[in-house]
């Protein structure tokens, strides 16, 4: 089995500095996706039969979160930044989505087919489909961070403008996610080195741990962390 994909290094800066926070926030978000993909790869060959359905929920939620992230980027975040950075300033970020999203979609179709029991689960098939796009996706996740470099943003955006954009992104995200899936996944796929991410109000984090996580509790066992940020063992018991 290939080694896990390494998490992205955090850009230099201070999360309290608005211009530096943008790239740091993006890197932290990308690391949750890497954590999720690594967890899928680690568990795919050895999922117990009675855990296949929860595992499929975990996998599909990872993919849904990646799609959701890209949708907000393409429909609001990048266009908003390009109003001042200049049209096409972030075009590479859009273009690279096309390098892996079609294969990601193919994996999503496969997982749903297995979930509906129209096809038998095969961990090797799952791994093959992940490896058909994962290298391209990991490159994209790393390429995107420098496009949000602090000095580039500081040259054209005030702190208030960036804070307003960030607040709008969070508002859009919270209005368009499934709280019973996206928020628990964000907790179990976070990075212990960045405990401030996901940047959710404490009441929402508590609700995720005590309420939202319950509906699909078996799915979150596949995350690299528990709901309190403590690393798990890779194995999931039958």
Residue 62 belongs to a domain: yes
Residue 234 belongs to a domain: no
CB 192 within 8 A of CB 229: yes
**Among 171, 142, 173, 145, which residue's Cα sits nearest to residue 72?**
173
Range of the domain at 50: 18-177
Q: What angle do CA 120, 123, 124 make, to 5 degrees?
A: 110
> Is the peptide bond preceding residue 148 cis, with omega within 30 degrees of 0?
no
Residue 122 belongs to a domain: yes
- Say what the pLDDT of residue 200 is: 82
Residue 102 belongs to a domain: yes
In the predicted model, is pLDDT for residue 1 greater than 60? Answer: no
In the predicted model, is pLDDT for residue 235 greater than 60? Answer: no
Residue 185 belongs to a domain: no
d(CA 200, CA 216): 20
Mean pLDDT calculated for residue range 48-53: 96
The segment with the largest mean pLDDT, out of 60-69, 90-99, 197-206, is: 60-69
CB 189 within 8 A of CB 62: yes
- Angle between helices 159-175 and 78-85 in degrees, nearest 10: 160
Indicate which CATH number applies to the domain containing 68: 1.20.120.520
| Backbone torsion region of residue 126, taken as left when φ is above 0, otherwise alpha when ψ lies between -120 and 50, otherwise beta | alpha
Residue appearing with tokens 């997982």 = 111
- Counting other chains too, the contacts that 70-75 makes at CB distance below 8 Å and 24 or more residues apart are 70/97, 70/101, 72/169, 72/172, 72/173, 72/176
Residue 203 belongs to a domain: no
- Say what the pLDDT of residue 57 is: 98
Report pTM: 0.94
Mean pLDDT calculated for residue range 63-82: 96
- Say what the pLDDT of residue 139 is: 95
Q: For the chain, what is the domain count?
A: 1
Residue 86 belongs to a domain: yes
Residue 100 belongs to a domain: yes
Mean pLDDT calculated for residue range 198-202: 84
């Amino acid at each position: 089995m290939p080694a896990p994909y390494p998490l992205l290094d955090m850009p230099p800066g201070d999360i309290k500095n608005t211009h530096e926070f943008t790239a740091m926030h993006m890197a932290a978000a990308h690391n949750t996706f890497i954590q999720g993909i690594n967890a899928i790869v680690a568990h795919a060959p050895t999922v117990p039969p009675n855990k296949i359905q929860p595992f499929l929920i975990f996998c599909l939620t990872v993919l849904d979160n990646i799609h959701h992230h890209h949708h907000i980027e393409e429909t609001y975040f990048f266009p908003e930044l390009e109003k001042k950075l200049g049209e096409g300033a972030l075009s590479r970020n859009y273009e690279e989505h096309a390098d892996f999203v079609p294969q990601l979609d193919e994996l999503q179709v496969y997982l749903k087919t297995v979930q509906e029991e129209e096809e038998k689960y095969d961990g090797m098939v799952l791994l093959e489909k992940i490896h058909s796009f994962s290298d391209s996706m990991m490159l994209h996740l790393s390429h995107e961070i420098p496009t949000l470099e602090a000095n580039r943003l500081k040259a054209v955006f005030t702190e208030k403008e960036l804070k307003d954009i960030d607040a709008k992104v969070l508002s859009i995200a919270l209005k368009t996610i499934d709280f019973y899936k996206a928020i628990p996944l964000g907790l179990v796929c976070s990075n212990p080195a960045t405990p401030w991410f996901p940047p959710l109000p404490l009441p929402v984090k508590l609700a995720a741990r005590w309420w939202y996580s319950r509906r699909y509790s078996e799915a979150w066992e596949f995350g690299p962390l528990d709901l309190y940020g403590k690393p798990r063992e890779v194995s999931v018991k039958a």
